[in-house]
Amino acid sequence: MKIFIKGIGSISPQNTIQNTLIDADIIQHHTEYLKCIEPVYKNYINPVSLRRMSRIVKMGVTAAQLCLKDANLTNTDAIITATGLGCIEDTENFLNSIIANEEKLLNPTPFIQSTHNTVGSQIAIILKCNNYNATHVHKGSSFESALMDALLLMKENEANNVLLGSSDEMTPNLFKITQRLNLWKKEPINHLKLSECKTKGSIAGEGAAFFALTNEANTSNYAVINALDVFYKPATNDAIDQRISLFLANNQLKTDEIDLVVYGINGDVKSDGIYNHLMESVFNKSTSTYYKHLCGEYHTSTSFAMWLSSIILKNQVVPNIIKLNNQPIKPINNILIYNHYLNKNHSLILLSKC
Amino acid sequence: MDTLIKELKEEIINELNLEDLTPDDIDADAALFGDGLGLDSIDALSLIVILEKKYGLKIGNPDDGKEIFRSIRSIAEFIKANKK
Amino acid sequence: MSSRVFVTGLGIISSIGCNIKEVMEAIYAKKSGISEITILETNYKGKIPVCEVKKLNKELAELAGVSNLNKYTRTALLGIIAAKQAVAYAGIDNIKELRTGVISATSVGGMDRSENFYQSFYKDQNKGRLRDVVNHDCSDSTEKIADILGISEYITTISTACSSSANAIMLGARLIKNNFLDRVIVGGTDALTRFTLNGFNSLMILDATGCKPFDNKRNGLTIGEGAGFLVIESEKSLKISGKKVLAELTGYGNACDAFHQTASSPEGYGAYLAMKKAIEVSGKHITEIDYINAHGTGTANNDLTEGKAIEKIFNNSIPEVSSTKAYTGHTLAASGGIEAVLSVLAIKEKIIYPNLRFTEQINELSFSPTIELLQNKEVRNVLSNSFGFGGNNTSLVFSKY
């Protein structure tokens, strides 16, 4: 069975609401972390639902709405969401209120909206969708875990279409905490040149991206999801090489058939070594690209990479802003997304032209 | 009474995030729950918090709130009758 | 596709015992785990009863066999203890001989320590011990369990509030059926925190006298902590390992109530759909279900709507029903794991658990829960319910093998 991407929706630190990424429209942020360009939510969510939603929920629900509209669907056979840290703003609000009020007379709203499944369940409530609904929360492989769930569900014939997506938000407090954990660069940088950085730390970001998956072929589909592999704490770079070789072999592909690779380069010298190694060895004939300079680093950033790959496969245009080498652009049939989060959670996503 | 009603409206708009509304948009006699303002069980809990924090009036059981929270006016009347 | 999924190991820690033996002793003695708070730091000590595991983190670390206490949240410690028990129960010596995964679940992850961090951070953003916050995210306890057990093949975490571990068990079973894994350690863990205690308190759904599931005068839940894990295996795995089968996981169903973030729909439609689907998948007839381990939290809303959904499925032939939450409290994301362990034990031990603390049938319902401990009872199939915030409802069916 082939599984297609029928529709997409993305809210990110770039202008992605129209499902385009245009070189002339790239936004350079001058803030400590990359914050999403957000639409007027009233245009997408009714006021009664909207009033209790924190930013991440608005972002997730709206990206889901954009995606369904793009896919021309009004409902779905399943809703599968992912988030690394969930509803941080509401979690902070409730913690603040516990401390400020000494555990007395607390408004319950931030608590009930703080659970990790809030985005998934709010989408279900809005769509009145009683079908399968799950939320995956495994750090740097949360989105991949949700994607795995979606692929299984369709292979089991439990769903003909699945609404799959992820959302993660950055807040000033979370930024401060993660900054103290040395996750981010100490010096000011131009994030659009992230791949050129040779220092420790990355740049923080956030985003929500949704996909309508279907088992129905259609010329308007964006891409085919061919395969997914998730692995944990590989011992060495050799182990990663082997895993990639095996992954390609299992999918009857040679390395030179991977026309374009999307790397999870995040500008951190501690993380980027493996990407540079792959670029110069196994995939030296492929077009090399990356994406975290556009959306920043966050747990579910691969959903942004999958959104980006979807539009590349459909439009056969590679924005200059993502290119890392000058390989002549051939027709793009196969895209491999390879990402890892803090050298722990690694993933490979293989997408192909319809 | 009118001052109390206006104050309550502002308090409720603020606490329940009814950002799009102004005090004048809310009819003091309209139903707060169901077809009126469309509030739900979670809002009832927030109203209980407002009453206790702001007016020192305790409602121990959410079910007791049903009558009191019928409208803005009924809340104002409850406050007037019970506030020491 | 491997068509069958077998349970070969069980592990549990909860307020009624730190292993299966202790838990079963409490069950037979009809001893509830509801008590005053003695370990959790909160202003509600002595005011709100909970189901607390009466062990300090230091003591839990001993049970878990780990030494560097700084590295572990209470959530992780509870999870490690139960997961290790499950693996030992299954008698697994070489974890790497088969494709083995860990699918765990938690609601608030390492909040038990991050809320302490936040207390200092709140006053001064440069304060707070970072080692208290680095393990906050939900995957931390899962990875700690996987690292200790030496599992790296496939690891993930589910968080759907109070149905989390039922969904983790369901996902594990599906990964086996799709021949992606041979064997999976599945379940969930949650520690008591001020965050969740205050959360449920702000919803005014904590019974000040302790929960009374399915009672007409029920007045809320009692929050608890703990962990429950199972080892589930494929047919192929079983042939290689030659393990003894405790029960078969025959059915699972996940549905969404899609009604309200916290309240269930009046007729419990999502609960009905989850149960119906689980029974369908199991291939069993409703008359073959001998026991329902209900979600039965003790809140007015849950017990009524779950009861109505049970009535709709079973009509006039409602099997034995009880909520074991009067024993263990509502352990949130861990409850599905703990109750799955209890469901398998019901089959194995031929018992049906009493619904403690019950006196009066709910007016709107046609049935009462089982209140006596039933022994020497042939339990062919157990339906285990787990329902969560956001209407995330999941039911599992465990069957005698």
User: What residues 310-369 of chain C have any CB closer than 8 A to a CB of chain A?
Assistant: none
Place of tokens 């894990």: C229
Question: pLDDT digit string (tens) for C326-356?
Answer: 999 999 999 999 999 999 999 999 999 999 9
Instruction: For chain A, list the contacting chains (3+ Cβ pairs, <8 Å).
Output: B, C
- Would you call A109 and B42 a contact, using CB atoms and an 8 Å cutoff? yes
Can you give the pTM of this predicted structure? 0.97
My answer on whether A229 and A341 are in the same domain is yes
My answer on whether A138 and A199 are in the same domain is yes
Rounded to a whole number of angstroms, the distance from the CA of A52 to the nearest CA of chain B is: 7
My answer on whether A208 and A288 are in the same domain is no
3-state DSSP percent of chain A in helix, strand and coil, to 5: 40, 20, 40
Distance from C-alpha of A13 to C-alpha of A170, rounded to nearest angstrom = 11
Nearest C-alpha in C relative to A94: C195
User: What residues 182-221 of chain C have any CB closer than 8 A to a CB of chain B?
Assistant: 202-204
C224: confidence class by pLDDT, cuts 50, 70, 90:
very high
Position C293 pLDDT exceeds 70:
yes
My answer on whether A186 and A267 are in the same domain is no
- Domains of chain B are 2-82 (1.10.1200.10)
Nearest C-alpha in A relative to B57: A105
Is A276 a domain residue? Answer: yes
Q: In the 3-class helix/strand/coil scheme, how is C353-376 assigned residue by residue?
A: CCCCCCCCECCCCCCCCCCCCECC
pLDDT at C9: 98
- Residue A337 token pair: 């997304």
Tell me if C141 sits within 8 A of C164, measured CB to CB. Answer: no
pLDDT at C219: 96
Q: What percentage of chain C reaches a pLDDT higher than 90?
A: 97
Contacts of A105 in chain B (CB under 8 A): 49, 52-53
Contacts of C261 in chain A (CB under 8 A): 52, 112-113, 118, 121-122, 125
Reference A10, options A307, A212, A302; nearest CA is A307
- Would you call C263 and B62 a contact, using CB atoms and an 8 Å cutoff? no
Question: pLDDT digit string (tens) for C89-114?
Answer: 999 989 999 999 999 999 999 999 99
Tell me if A340 sits within 8 A of A202, measured CB to CB. Answer: no
Return the H-helix or E-strand segment holding B64. Answer: none
Domain that holds residue A205: 3-214
My answer on whether A276 and A198 are in the same domain is no
Rounded to a whole number of angstroms, the distance from the CA of A135 to the nearest CA of chain C is: 6
What's the whole-number mean pLDDT along residues C224-252?
95
My answer on whether A142 and A178 are in the same domain is yes
What's the whole-number mean pLDDT along residues C303-307?
98
My answer on whether A72 and A142 are in the same domain is yes
My answer on whether A27 and A78 are in the same domain is yes
ipTM score assigned to the predicted complex: 0.98
Domain(s) of CATH 3.40.47.10: residues in chain C: 6-241, 250-399
**Positions of chain B with pLDDT under 70:** none
Rounded to a whole number of angstroms, the distance from the CA of C353 to the nearest CA of chain A is: 30
Residue A326's CB is within 10 A of a number of other CB atoms, namely 8
Rounded to a whole number of angstroms, the distance from the CA of C25 to the nearest CA of chain B is: 37
pLDDT at B81: 92
Contacts of B53 in chain A (CB under 8 A): 105
pLDDT at A183: 97
Is A263 a domain residue? Answer: yes
Position C2 pLDDT exceeds 80:
no
Distance from C-alpha of C15 to C-alpha of C216, rounded to nearest angstrom = 25
Q: Which of B20, B46, B53 sits opposite A109 (nearest CB)?
A: B46
Q: Does residue C130 sit at the A interface (CB-CB below 8 Å)? A: yes
Tell me if A181 sits within 8 A of A173, measured CB to CB. Answer: no
Contacts of B46 in chain A (CB under 8 A): 107-109
Q: Which of B16, B42, B53 sits opposite A105 (nearest CB)?
A: B53
Distance from C-alpha of C256 to C-alpha of A119, rounded to nearest angstrom = 13
Question: pLDDT digit string (tens) for C270-279?
Answer: 999 999 999 9
My answer on whether A23 and A164 are in the same domain is yes
Q: Does residue B40 sit at the C interface (CB-CB below 8 Å)? A: yes
- Would you call C260 and B48 a contact, using CB atoms and an 8 Å cutoff? no
Contacts of C155 in chain A (CB under 8 A): 138, 232
Interface of B to A at Cβ within 8 Å reads: 15-20, 38, 42, 45-46, 49, 52-53
Domain with residue A314: its CATH number is 3.40.47.10
Distance from C-alpha of A267 to C-alpha of A290, rounded to nearest angstrom = 10
Q: Does residue C390 sit at the A interface (CB-CB below 8 Å)? A: yes
The whole-chain average pLDDT of chain C stands at 97
Is A52 a domain residue? Answer: yes
pLDDT at A108: 96
How buried is A342 (Cβ within 10 angstroms: 0-12 exposed, 13-18 middle, 19+ buried)?
Answer: middle
Residue A247's CB is within 10 A of a number of other CB atoms, namely 18
Q: Does residue B41 sit at the C interface (CB-CB below 8 Å)? A: yes
My answer on whether A156 and A67 are in the same domain is yes
Nearest C-alpha in C relative to A178: C134
| Adjacent-strand bridge partners of A337 | A262, A349
pLDDT at A306: 98
Instruction: Give me the number of domains chain A comprises.
Output: 2
C1: confidence class by pLDDT, cuts 50, 70, 90:
low
In C125-204, where do the E strands start and end? Answer: 154-158, 183-190
State the count of interchain CB pairs (< 8 A) between A and B.
Answer: 22
- Would you call C260 and B45 a contact, using CB atoms and an 8 Å cutoff? no
pLDDT at A33: 98
Nearest C-alpha in A relative to C177: A156
Contacts of B45 in chain A (CB under 8 A): 107-108
Known catalytic residues of C are: 162, 295, 330
What's the whole-number mean pLDDT along residues C255-279?
96
Reference C164, options C14, C313, C338, C326; nearest CA is C338
Give the end-to-end CA distance of chain C in Å, rounded to a whole number.
Answer: 20
Domain at C250-399, CATH from 3.40.640.10, 3.20.20.70, 3.40.47.10, 3.30.470.20 = 3.40.47.10
Is A219 a domain residue? Answer: no
Question: pLDDT digit string (tens) for C364-401?
Answer: 999 999 999 999 999 999 999 999 999 999 999 999 99
**Positions of chain A with pLDDT under 70:** none
My answer on whether A251 and A201 are in the same domain is no
Domain boundary (A214, A243, A276) is at: A214
Contacts of C204 in chain B (CB under 8 A): 45, 48, 61-62
Rounded to a whole number of angstroms, the distance from the CA of C85 to the nearest CA of chain A is: 23
State the count of interchain CB pairs (< 8 A) between B and C.
Answer: 15
Nearest C-alpha in A relative to B54: A105
H-only helix segments in C90-163: 111-123, 139-149
In sequence order, what are the residues at sequence separation of 6 or more whose Cβ sits closer than 8 angstroms to the Cβ of residue B48? B59, B62, B65, C204
Position C203 pLDDT exceeds 80:
yes
Residue A200's CB is within 10 A of a number of other CB atoms, namely 15
Contacts of C199 in chain A (CB under 8 A): 94, 108, 111-112, 114
Assign a CATH topology to domain C6-241.
Peroxisomal Thiolase; Chain A, domain 1 (3.40.47)
C55: confidence class by pLDDT, cuts 50, 70, 90:
very high
Instruction: Give the type of residue at C287.
Output: T
Distance from C-alpha of C356 to C-alpha of C373, rounded to nearest angstrom = 10
Instruction: Give the type of residue at C3.
Output: S
My answer on whether A187 and A50 are in the same domain is yes
Is A220 a domain residue? Answer: no
Rounded to a whole number of angstroms, the distance from the CA of B47 to the nearest CA of chain A is: 9
Question: pLDDT digit string (tens) for C11-49?
Answer: 999 999 999 999 999 999 999 999 999 999 999 999 999
Tell me if A117 sits within 8 A of A81, measured CB to CB. Answer: yes
